[in-house]
């Protein structure tokens, strides 16, 4: 049932989602030689952001705004009336002309290298290429303006268009620079890294971590088959490489950085990548691990210590869209449901002793603990009484569930059957601790009973209010199906899949199927 439900949901969205092979089902591809010079400095994160699709879109929008403003200024100067300008009709010919301009501008940006990371590494190069690109775009924009309106002065209109377009494009880059250098670092949480190796490569990687401007790193420690003295005193030695799987289950690790010689540690490196793949942990390795001078992998790093990244789960810009989508929808939900939330809060408070909300520590992204908020549906000492009820657990695996739980209050029973007790988790979504759709966050009691490292893959994404297993029977799904559906969601995620799961969640809630 769970398998059929997932396939039914995913088939409709597979047209827009990019299939990714799970590291659990297929070996990782070997590193192939390509055209990247491993000795060249890595592209700084700010430079990559200046070439992002969002900046490209803003550049096109900036030139369109400049074109509109130029036409508007001359129309007002000629007719002296805003109304006459607004009454102008846009013909199909005009739309085709604008489309041709957009395509031509895009070609000009490519020819001038405006988004080439190697040609825009410095502020000087940006200050040269933006005005140059704007000037070339001006030449192809002013001609149709002058042809369509004979009263326009081509020199004046060209200068006005260039000034407005260039100013807006530079303003976009100033905003990106301000965000990347000042705003983003203040809100970015530190990423925990574990280094495999203790030799000179490991020492170099350790010293480079504070210089990485894209992330704030916290070094958890080192693992190595034969500890060397180069990294003494920098961070603790955690154990043998063979202990990595156990360490990843116990520690909140975001990235594993491989700093081992590949010729003498090839089998160990392969094992490390497989272990991290099963757990959804990002892997980085130094480019000088290989004698080949080139690779096609995505590379990051500070200074000359370039590193290749193997991403085990989605880490592209679609996640930014998902985060924005989640927070906007959650904020709207809180506003619309405010009266319902108030009524539920009154019902909980008036019918039982204790607080309105139940806040429980759960594991979130990267095994970080956060306080998940729910309306209290049980007696105040419910957690203390759980140990006495363990023998009544009706779920297989580490999760705990009882249909006729004696700790549930009368109002709580209704809230749980209708899933209204979950509504306060919209606050968690707004805070960025959860998503609308994702694997359910598990309490510490359940995670302690995980016996296999591949189960840690659930923590490679934000937990969600709803997910595939909720629409597949909700509490009726057994633990094996729950994990299987969570991992498939992680590997095949798309925004369209999220929307379909949300729609099916409403159906499951209305029918009260599987909830207790």
Three-state SS letters, 12-77: HHCCCCCCCCCCCCCCCCCCCCCCCCCCCCCCCHHHHHHCCHHHHHHHHHHHHHHHHHHHHHHHHH
The alpha carbon torsion through 46, 48, 53, 56 (nearest 10 deg) reads: 70
Question: What is the bridge-based pairing of β-strands 307-310 and 299-300?
Answer: antiparallel
* Cα(449)–Cα(456) distance, integer angstroms: 12
Which domains occur in the chain, in start order?
23-41+189-310 (3.40.50.720), 51-185 (no CATH), 318-511 (no CATH)
Instruction: Give the 3-state secondary structure of residue 170.
Output: helix
Q: Looking at residues 272-286, what average pLDDT do you find?
A: 84
Q: What are 172-183's pLDDT values in tens digits?
A: 888 877 777 777
The predicted pLDDT at position 91 comes to: 66
- Quick one: how far is CA 410 from the chain centroid? 40
The predicted pLDDT at position 30 comes to: 34
Alpha helices, H only, 179-303? 184-187, 200-208, 244-250, 266-279
CA atoms within 13 A on the CB side of 318: 13
Q: Looking at residues 351-379, what average pLDDT do you find?
A: 90
Q: Backbone phi, then psi, for 180, in 5-degree steps? A: -70, -35
Q: What are 229-242's pLDDT values in tens digits?
A: 777 778 888 888 88
Question: What is the bridge-based pairing of β-strands 307-310 and 369-375?
Answer: unpaired
Whether residue 27 has pLDDT greater than 60:
no
How many residues appear in the chain?
516
Q: Looking at residues 277-287, what average pLDDT do you find?
A: 80
The predicted pLDDT at position 75 comes to: 67
**DSSP structure class, residue 378:** B
Query: Could you tell me what percent of the chain has a pLDDT over 90?
Result: 13
Instruction: Give the 3-state secondary structure of residue 117.
Output: coil
Residue 116: pLDDT band by 50, 70, 90 thresholds? confident
Alpha helices, H only, 373-476? 382-385, 410-418, 425-431, 444-447, 468-471
**Closest by Cα among 189, 308, 319, 303 to 254:** 189
* Cα(10)–Cα(304) distance, integer angstroms: 43
Q: Looking at residues 241-246, what average pLDDT do you find?
A: 87
The predicted pLDDT at position 434 comes to: 94
The alpha carbon torsion through 202, 207, 210, 215 (nearest 10 deg) reads: -20
Residue 291: pLDDT band by 50, 70, 90 thresholds? very low
The alpha carbon torsion through 451, 453, 458, 460 (nearest 10 deg) reads: 150
Residue the block writes with tokens 């004696």: 406
Element (H, E) at 191: strand 191-196
Higher per-residue pLDDT: 287 or 255: 255
CB neighbours (10 Å) of residue 404? 9
Q: What are 202-231's pLDDT values in tens digits?
A: 888 888 776 565 567 888 889 988 877 777
- Label residue 393 exposed, middle or buried (CB < 10 Å: 0-12, 13-18, 19+): middle
Token couple for 165: 């377009």
State whether the Cα torsion 399-405-406-410 is positive or negative. positive
Q: What are 411-455's pLDDT values in tens digits?
A: 988 998 888 999 999 999 999 999 999 998 988 877 877 767 777
Q: What are 458-492's pLDDT values in tens digits?
A: 888 899 999 888 787 655 556 777 788 888 888 88
* Cα(211)–Cα(233) distance, integer angstroms: 19
Q: Looking at residues 197-203, what average pLDDT do you find?
A: 85
Question: What is the bridge-based pairing of β-strands 191-196 and 217-223?
Answer: parallel
* Cα(290)–Cα(38) distance, integer angstroms: 9
User: Highest mean pLDDT: which of 119-123, 192-196, 401-405?
Assistant: 192-196
Q: Backbone phi, then psi, for 368, in 5-degree steps? A: -85, 135
Residue the block writes with tokens 């659990």: 24
Instruction: Give the 3-state secondary structure of residue 372.
Output: strand
User: Highest mean pLDDT: which of 146-155, 391-400, 417-426, 481-490?
Assistant: 417-426
Question: How many Å is the Cα radius of gyration of the chain?
Answer: 28
The mean pLDDT value of the chain amounts to 75
Q: Please state whether 379 falls in left (phi above 0), alpha (psi between -120 and 50) or beta.
A: beta
Largest CA distance in the chain: 88
81-116: b or e for each residue (b if 16 or more CB lie within 10 Å)?
eeeeeeeeeeeeeeeebbeebeeebeebbeebebbe
* Cα(170)–Cα(256) distance, integer angstroms: 38
* Cα(295)–Cα(287) distance, integer angstroms: 8
User: Highest mean pLDDT: which of 97-106, 138-147, 326-335, 385-394?
Assistant: 326-335
Q: Looking at residues 195-202, what average pLDDT do you find?
A: 86
CB neighbours (10 Å) of residue 389? 14
**DSSP structure class, residue 190:** P
195-220: b or e for each residue (b if 16 or more CB lie within 10 Å)?
bbbbbebbbbbbebbeebebbebebb
Residue 33: pLDDT band by 50, 70, 90 thresholds? very low
């Amino acid at each position: 049932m769970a398998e059929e439900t997932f396939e039914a949901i995913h088939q409709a969205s597979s047209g827009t989602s990019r299939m990714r092979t799970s590291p659990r089902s297929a070996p990782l591809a070997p590193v192939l030689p390509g055209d990247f010079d491993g000795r060249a400095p890595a592209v700084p994160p700010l430079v990559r952001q200046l070439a992002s699709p969002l900046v490209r879109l803003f550049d096109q929008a900036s030139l369109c705004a400049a074109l509109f403003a130029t036409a508007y200024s001359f129309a007002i100067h000629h007719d002296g009336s805003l109304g006459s300008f607004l009454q102008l009709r846009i013909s199909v010919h005009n739309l085709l002309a604008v489309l041709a301009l957009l395509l031509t501008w895009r070609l000009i940006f490519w020819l001038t290298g405006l988004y080439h990371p190697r040609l825009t590494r410095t502020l000087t190069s940006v200050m040269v290429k933006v005005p140059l690109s704007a000037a070339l775009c001006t030449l192809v924009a002013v001609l149709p303006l002058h042809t369509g309106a004979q009263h326009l002065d081509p020199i004046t209109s060209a200068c006005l268009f260039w000034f407005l377009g260039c100013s807006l494009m530079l303003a976009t880059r100033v905003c990106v620079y301000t965000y990347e250098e000042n705003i983003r670092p203040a809100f970015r949480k530190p990423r925990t890294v574990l280094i495999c190796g203790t030799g000179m490569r490991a020492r170099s990687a350790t010293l480079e971590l504070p210089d990485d401007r894209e992330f704030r790193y916290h070094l958890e420690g080192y693992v190595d088959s034969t500890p060397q003295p180069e990294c003494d005193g920098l961070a603790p030695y955690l154990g043998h490489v063979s202990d990595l799987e156990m360490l990843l289950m116990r520690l909140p690790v975001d990235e594993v950085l491989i700093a081992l010689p590949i010729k003498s540690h090839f089998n160990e490196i392969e094992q490390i990548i497989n272990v991290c793949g099963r757990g959804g942990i990002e892997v980085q390795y130094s480019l000088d691990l290989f004698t080949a001078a080139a690779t096609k992998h995505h590379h990051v790093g500070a200074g000359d210590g370039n590193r290749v990244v193997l991403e085990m789960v989605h880490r592209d810009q679609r996640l930014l869209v998902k985060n924005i989508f989640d927070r906007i929808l959650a904020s709207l939900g809180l506003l619309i449901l405010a009266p319902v939330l108030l009524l539920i809060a009154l019902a909980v408070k008036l019918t039982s002793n204790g607080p309105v909300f139940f806040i429980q520590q759960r594991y979130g992204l990267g095994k970080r603990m956060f306080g998940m908020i729910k309306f209290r549906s049980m007696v105040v000492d419910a957690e203390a009484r759980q140990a006495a009820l363990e023998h009544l657990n009706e779920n297989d695996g580490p999760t705990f569930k009882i249909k006729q739980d004696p700790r549930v209050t009368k109002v709580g029973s209704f809230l749980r059957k209708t899933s209204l007790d979950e509504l306060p988790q919209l606050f968690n979504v707004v805070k960025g601790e959860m998503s609308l759709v994702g694997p359910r966050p598990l309490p510490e009691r359940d995670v302690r009973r995980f016996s296999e490292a591949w189960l840690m893959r659930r923590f490679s994404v934000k937990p969600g209010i709803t997910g595939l297993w909720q629409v597949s029977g909700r509490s009726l799904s057994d633990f094996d199906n729950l994990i299987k559906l969570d991992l498939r969601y992680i590997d095949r995620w798309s925004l369209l899949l999220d929307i379909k799961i949300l729609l099916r969640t409403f159906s499951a809630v209305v029918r009260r199927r599987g909830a207790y």
